[in-house]
Chains A and B, each alone.
Chain A
Amino acid sequence: MSSFHGRLLIVDLSARAARTEVLDAEYLRKYLGGVGLATRLLLEHSSAGVDPFDERNPIVFAVGPLTGTMVPAASKYAAATRSPLTGFIGDSLSSGAWPLALKRAGYDALVVVGAAETPSYIFIDDDRVYFRLARQLWGAGCWETEERIRRELGDDAVRVASIGPAGEKLVRYASIGNDYSRQAGRTGVGAVMGSKRLKAIAVRGTKPVRAAEPEALRRASLDLYARSQGAATAKYRILGTPANVLALDALAALPTRNFRQSTFEGAERVSGEWFYERHASKVMACAGCSIGCDHIYRVVDGSHAGTQVGMEYESLYALGPLCGVDDAAAILRAAELCDRYGMDTMSAGASIAWAMECYERGIISREESGGLELRFGSAGALVAMVEAIGQRRGLGQILGEGVKRAAASVGRGSERWAMHVKGLELPGYEPRSMKTLALGLAVGTRGACHNRSSAYEVDLSARVDRLNGDRGRGRLAMIQEDYAATLDSLGICKFLRRCFDAFYPEAADLLRWATGVEMTAEELQRVGERVCNLKKVFNIREGWTRSDDTLPPRLLEEPLPTGVARGARLTREELDDMIAGYYEARGWTSEGLIPPGKLSELGLEI
């Protein structure tokens, strides 16, 4: 008995054919599921140098080994593909009832290759795969698509992962939405679905998932349910992640106005407390999650009345402080539009913030902005630009390319204000006042990502001086990355992480009781290391060089102007020193390449 099915579904959209393959036990042991398994399958089913929008670029979905069991916060999937935003690995996670349905349909992973001739969606009905026309759905938002497919198939149990108009129109940071308010948000996985004219993947799964030791798993799960109601998850359950706003503002770590500042004078009006008191309506949970972090906010009056959306700190940061906007209702409306058009709130907000900076500096003219006063703080301009990007009209056409490409096409010095790493826009933590995070963002395989690095946790702990970097941060950043990659491959939500007393041994127990796979804590940690190296293998294959591991010039040249970190700066030497420490800790060459000995040590001979 095992919660692994050992089964992979391969769908070829060009041939309109589907087949299954066996995933052997050794393979699952090495990569588990989620990001690890998806990345491994991506490497296997793709070849080097293929354009992300070429039909030969596959998109891979993998659920976690614990998905479908009663272990909490483990109903997750990873989508992996070559990112149209970065050209490197694009691995994005989401959770909810859709991955549960895919697992219950009898699969650990799904590889989609080829491209449909006309807009289509696939319906995976346990063992059968149907190719269905989606002409009538083309242009519909994610929520609407989900509901219409359920109605068309006549069953509420059908779960849907879909793209919106942004994915159809190849916005390079288009997301995949599932179960209303969850998204595989980053790196443009939705645009790859759009390039395949694949509107949605509908799944009905009715099979049992079995556990190796169900009683032990049940007891451990009940224990985690209890622990996940305590202080370890209070932030997520009560105010939700928007609680970060005031905390980061106080630390001078809240990126504001395209990283001009790291404090925001309007922080109170966009704080978690503000949203909670005025807009919170209901807290929901993903399938199988005991925490429940999904705060659904509503706007009941004013020009944005009727808005209803779930929102996280990162969306709030990008659509709020980063654009200088302190109008909570407008931020909710912008987030709702992003969800419905199906695009990453972070990259969308960051693209608009870049445009606002360029407008204020006279780089983008009023004619180019379509007559819009595109200034920091303008809530009206924010909402209008989100619409324009979703529809790819006017300036939105360019902004839908992401800041790296937008700056390259506008030129005129706008590149200086493009805040990205490897093409992925930055998350809501200020690198100049959080140095371990700065390192994590610079070396991240999917670009500037807080979630894959988690190095901000080091800065927020008392272990280091967050304002000064040193070579030793390399090892700390590596440990955080390996930890994140283990969670991402087990498919356990990071919001559950503090509920463990000792994560690796406890997670190894859960894995054994669910799958029957015996693994020591050290071996499990090794999976995280293996997966991080695997992602790097993909990037090297796609032409990664040392110069890709860096931060945008503004962060390396301008000191912070306000707050408790006023005057703090990050120099190129400081960053390079940390990067050298990181390569060293990883056992890589000084140029950041993986020596053959390291690959074989990790069992990664490709």
Chain B
Amino acid sequence: MYRRHIVCDPAECTGCRLCEFACALEKTGAFDLELSRIRVAAPQPAVAISIACQLCEGAPCVVACPRKALSIRLEDGTIALDRGLCTGCGWCIEACDFGAIALDPNTRSVVVCDLCRDLEVPRCVESCPKKALSLSPQSAVAGRSRRRAAEQLLKEAGGYQPAS
């Protein structure tokens, strides 16, 4: 089975953060952006990318949890949390290379993207005005890279205009 996660195309991302608003509203009922499961990083004036849980195969967050509160759901690869076990220590947050886990001060446990499992389309994907976000398997990301590499080659060969 191909696992799918929230993929952002940085060429299209404008750093607007509307995905954060949509996610926060869905998950908290308010625009509580600290608890958005997807976050934009824009370290430079002309660079932006939106990042949510990558659904790592050997998830470092799961490995790092001292109480075994985190696990990988077999059906879709998302991270499941056993709230009864979580103490909110934050080791998973430190272990995550993508900053995709946040601590919820209201419940004193952690939150992470679940791909809006109950909805047809994840809220972030639905709200992205530039269609930079998609729910895609890694193979689609690799496919996009291959296409861009090929387009670059053709462009250098001259005369080619990619379809817009």
- What's the Cα separation between A207 and B130 when bound, in Å? 27
Do the beta carbons of A296 and B46 come within 8 Å of each other? Answer: yes
CB neighbours of A225 from chain B (8 A): 18, 127, 129
CB neighbours of A211 from chain B (8 A): 30-31
Write the nearest CB–CB distance from A511 to chain B, whole angstroms.
16
Write the nearest CB–CB distance from A584 to chain B, whole angstroms.
43
Partner of A292, one of B42, B127, B130: B130
8 new A-B contacts, CB < 8 A, other than A284-B48, A289-B14, are A3-B31, A69-B21, A70-B22, A208-B24, A221-B127, A287-B15, A290-B18, A296-B46
Do the beta carbons of B30 and A229 come within 8 Å of each other? Answer: no
Do the beta carbons of B129 and A284 come within 8 Å of each other? Answer: no
Which of A206, A208, A221, A308 has the most C-beta atoms of chain B within 10 angstroms of its own C-beta? A208
CB neighbours of B14 from chain A (8 A): 283-285, 289, 292, 294
Do the beta carbons of B22 and A281 come within 8 Å of each other? Answer: no
Do the beta carbons of A287 and B17 come within 8 Å of each other? Answer: yes
Write the nearest CB–CB distance from B104 to chain A, whole angstroms.
12
Write the nearest CB–CB distance from A147 to chain B, whole angstroms.
9
> With A283-B14, A286-B16 as given contacts, are A308 and B28 in contact (CB-CB < 8 Å)?
no
Which of B24, B33, B34, B126 has the most C-beta atoms of chain A within 10 angstroms of its own C-beta? B33
B21's nearest neighbour on chain A, judged by CB, is A70
Do the beta carbons of A284 and B15 come within 8 Å of each other? Answer: yes
Q: Which 9 A-B pairs have the closest CB atoms?
A: A208-B32, A290-B129, A285-B14, A70-B21, A285-B16, A292-B14, A180-B45, A282-B46, A208-B30
Write the nearest CB–CB distance from B58 to chain A, whole angstroms.
27
- What's the Cα separation between A214 and B123 when bound, in Å? 14
* B window 122-143: CB within 8 A of A: 126-127, 129-130
Do the beta carbons of B46 and A214 come within 8 Å of each other? Answer: no
* B window 92-139: CB within 8 A of A: 126-127, 129-130
Q: List 5 A-B contacts (CB under 8 A).
A: A214-B30, A225-B127, A229-B129, A287-B15, A292-B130
User: C-beta contact mask, B34-52 vs A, less than 8 Å → 1, else 0?
Assistant: 1000000111011110000
CB neighbours of B129 from chain A (8 A): 72, 225-226, 228-229, 290-292
- What's the Cα separation between A292 and B31 when bound, in Å? 21
CB neighbours of A226 from chain B (8 A): 129
Write the nearest CB–CB distance from B84 to chain A, whole angstroms.
26
CB of B25 within 8 A of chain A?
Answer: yes
CB of A104 within 8 A of chain B?
Answer: yes
> With A104-B33, A209-B31, A210-B31 as given contacts, are A218 and B25 in contact (CB-CB < 8 Å)?
yes
CB of A190 within 8 A of chain B?
Answer: no
Which of A104, A180, A207, A225 has the most C-beta atoms of chain B within 10 angstroms of its own C-beta? A225
- What's the Cα separation between A289 and B8 when bound, in Å? 17
CB neighbours of A288 from chain B (8 A): 16-18, 21
CB of B158 within 8 A of chain A?
Answer: no
CB neighbours of B33 from chain A (8 A): 104, 208
- What's the Cα separation between A208 and B32 when bound, in Å? 4
- What's the Cα separation between A143 and B84 when bound, in Å? 46
Do the beta carbons of B22 and A218 come within 8 Å of each other? Answer: yes
A150's nearest neighbour on chain B, judged by CB, is B43
* A window 187-218: CB within 8 A of B: 206-211, 214, 218
Which of B16, B22, B24, B48 has the most C-beta atoms of chain A within 10 angstroms of its own C-beta? B16
CB of B29 within 8 A of chain A?
Answer: yes
> With A68-B31, A208-B28 as given contacts, are A284 and B45 in contact (CB-CB < 8 Å)?
yes
Partner of A70, one of B15, B25, B41: B25
User: C-beta contact mask, A554-580 vs B, less than 8 Å → 1, else 0?
Assistant: 000000000000000000000000000
CB of A367 within 8 A of chain B?
Answer: no
A181's nearest neighbour on chain B, judged by CB, is B45
CB of A265 within 8 A of chain B?
Answer: no
* A window 151-183: CB within 8 A of B: 156, 180-181
> With A225-B127, A284-B45, A284-B46 as given contacts, are A289 and B31 in contact (CB-CB < 8 Å)?
no
CB of A222 within 8 A of chain B?
Answer: yes
B29's nearest neighbour on chain A, judged by CB, is A214
Which of B15, B28, B32, B129 has the most C-beta atoms of chain A within 10 angstroms of its own C-beta? B129
Which of A70, A72, A288, A294 has the most C-beta atoms of chain B within 10 angstroms of its own C-beta? A70
User: C-beta contact mask, B1-30 vs A, less than 8 Å → 1, else 0?
Assistant: 000000000000011111001101100111
Do the beta carbons of A290 and B16 come within 8 Å of each other? Answer: yes
A208's nearest neighbour on chain B, judged by CB, is B32
CB neighbours of B25 from chain A (8 A): 70, 214, 218
- What's the Cα separation between A288 and B32 when bound, in Å? 14
B105's nearest neighbour on chain A, judged by CB, is A206
User: C-beta contact mask, B50-78 vs A, less than 8 Å → 1, else 0?
Assistant: 00000000000000000000000000000
Do the beta carbons of B43 and A156 come within 8 Å of each other? Answer: yes
- What's the Cα separation between A208 and B46 when bound, in Å? 28
* A window 280-330: CB within 8 A of B: 281-292, 294, 296, 308, 310
- What's the Cα separation between A286 and B40 when bound, in Å? 12
- What's the Cα separation between A152 and B25 when bound, in Å? 32
Write the nearest CB–CB distance from A149 to chain B, whole angstroms.
15
Write the nearest CB–CB distance from A182 to chain B, whole angstroms.
10
A298's nearest neighbour on chain B, judged by CB, is B46
Do the beta carbons of A285 and B34 come within 8 Å of each other? Answer: no
B16's nearest neighbour on chain A, judged by CB, is A285
